[in-house]
Structure 1
Amino acid sequence: MSFVKRTVVSTGLLLLLFLLWEGACRLANIPIFILPAPSRVLFVAVTQAPLLAYHAAMTGIEIILGIFFSITAAIPLAVVMFVYPSVEQAFSPLLVASQAIPVFALAPLLIVWFGYGIWSKVFMAAIIIFFPIVVNLLEGLKSCDSDYRKLFHLMGAPFFQSFRYLYWPWALPYFLAGLKVGVSVATIGAVIGEWVGAQRGLGYLMIQSNARLRVDLVFASILWLTAIGIFLWILVGAIEKRTLTWTR
């Protein structure tokens, strides 16, 4: 199926879902404070754009910083685990265990350690992004073709030269694939941190709106969060397309 057909099918299914949602809300006369219709959500998302943008800016900063710190930590760790298999054997159970811990359990601890400011949310986002980047990059490094490894070894290439011209280009598609997964779920960490304790952000706005039975504003915040996730996904996809020119 071509890209155009996939886009048309996906858009059609989404519109059908919204039409069913809209019809159900109108026919059943569901109160706004229980389930607002999509038209109401869209109206609030547009009319309350200044308020939503104010809080979305903080959530976006938390996500960007979380991506930066996760990449800064993930790349060296993946390289060390690749070079020293004993380090991989020691850290792999810890990485798996870190993903088995519910993020809701970590959020209160991060609030205690880093306070109600931005850094607790940044580290929450970084924790969620960190795992898929490390795992994918490590898998990419380990999947490098053995014949190319032997060729670089026979030519006497030092490790850093081999890493620059062989291992990193080979693992780059894996790294970007893990980054796409990470940025798409980065909003989860930031929002959960804002739910536990914050003074600004879309998660904070959702909690405040829910307490005032402004469910339409809660859905509008979710819509803006979805837009942030999609934008980051598209941005990484554009970087991937521009960087991996040899794969085409």
Structure 2
Amino acid sequence: MSTSALRRLAPRRLAPRGSAPRTVALRRFLPALVAFAVLLTAWQLYVVVNDVRPQLLPSPGRVATAGWDHRDALTTNAIATLKVTLAGFAVSLCVAWLLAVAIDFSTWLRRALVPVFVTSQTIPIIVLAPLMITWFGFGLFPKVLLVALATFFPLAIGLIEGFASTDRDAGALLRSMGASRWKEFRYVRLPNALPRFFTALRIGITYAVVGAIFAEYAGAQYGLGVYMARQKQVFRTDLVLAAIAVTAVISIALFLATYAVERVVAPWTRLEKRSK
């Protein structure tokens, strides 16, 4: 091997593993971190300069201190909210997949059910929450059902539209080779729908946390929604904001988890995005 070839290979061998991914991640998240820091600084300065009462708007430092002092209560209620969120989202995910696949195989079902899905979105969750408690009581079931209703539409529509957007020529090629409708679905329509599905998954998982909070407001013993309502009644605005911060952390963590799932389930979508 020539000397020039060895020189070209040397930097690659000496470069530490993972350095490039860390640099890319830093570039990606740095603007958001800077914006968040600026927002917190402006908030802190506004409270200090205007001498705002803590009951009206506590400073970020006070919120962080109150949240840390009451971390046990926040953790207990956050776990309760997370359980409802994941249970309801799992139900929504299973039903959305079953109906979307059935609709893809039946034009009649598509014409019958899609308008029903759209109509269901005209009913606000905040209206359904007290009705669910009235019909099903204060147990886990009505809360799970509310989360499922809040997240079902984006998941189902994302899958339905993903299946429908499949290249017709690819499907026709498989059929010309004697492939069945199921094989066409498995090898062409399903992989084609996954990018839209994961986009819908990210939308749905954020709706799931909000749906769980609304469900807890309507009636529950534990959960961040209940915790915020109780602290609001005693004018502990700092603890209300601390609970909101925990809710945001849960939402962001679940949102980022969808990317990890996508890397495992559909790694080719990441390569397609890079190539664009």
TM-score range, shorter chain: over 0.9
- Is 1:202–2:238 an aligned residue pair? no
- Counterparts of 2:135 and 2:188 in 1: how far apart (Å)? 41
- Counterparts of 2:177 and 2:135 in 1: how far apart (Å)? 51
Does the 8 Å CA contact 1:45/1:223 hold for their aligned counterparts? Answer: no
- Is 1:115–2:137 an aligned residue pair? yes
Per the alignment, residue 53 of structure 1 pairs with 75
Per the alignment, residue 24 of structure 1 pairs with 46
Per the alignment, residue 100 of structure 1 pairs with 122
- Is 1:135–2:157 an aligned residue pair? yes
Q: CA deviation at 1:63?
A: 0.5
The runs of 4+ residues in structure 1 deviating greater than 4 Å are none
- Is 1:151–2:173 an aligned residue pair? yes
- Counterparts of 1:46 and 1:97 in 2: how far apart (Å)? 44
Write the deviation string for residues 3-40 of structure 1: whole angstroms up to 9, x where unpaired.
53342222111111111111111111111111111111
- Is 1:170–2:192 an aligned residue pair? yes
Q: CA deviation at 1:74?
A: 0.3
Aligned residues: 247
Code of the aligned partner of 2:154: P
- Counterparts of 2:111 and 2:60 in 1: how far apart (Å)? 49
- Counterparts of 2:142 and 2:239 in 1: how far apart (Å)? 25
- Is 1:80–2:102 an aligned residue pair? yes
- Counterparts of 2:249 and 2:263 in 1: how far apart (Å)? 21
Which sections of structure 2, spanning at least 5 residues, go unmatched? 1-23, 272-276
Q: TM-score, normalised by structure 2?
A: 0.86
Code of the aligned partner of 1:93: P
Code of the aligned partner of 1:17: L
Q: TM-score, normalised by structure 1?
A: 0.95
Does the 8 Å CA contact 1:63/1:186 hold for their aligned counterparts? Answer: yes
RMSD: 1.3
Q: CA deviation at 1:86?
A: 2.3
- Counterparts of 1:187 and 1:245 in 2: how far apart (Å)? 27
- Counterparts of 1:176 and 1:9 in 2: how far apart (Å)? 24
- Counterparts of 1:138 and 1:181 in 2: how far apart (Å)? 15
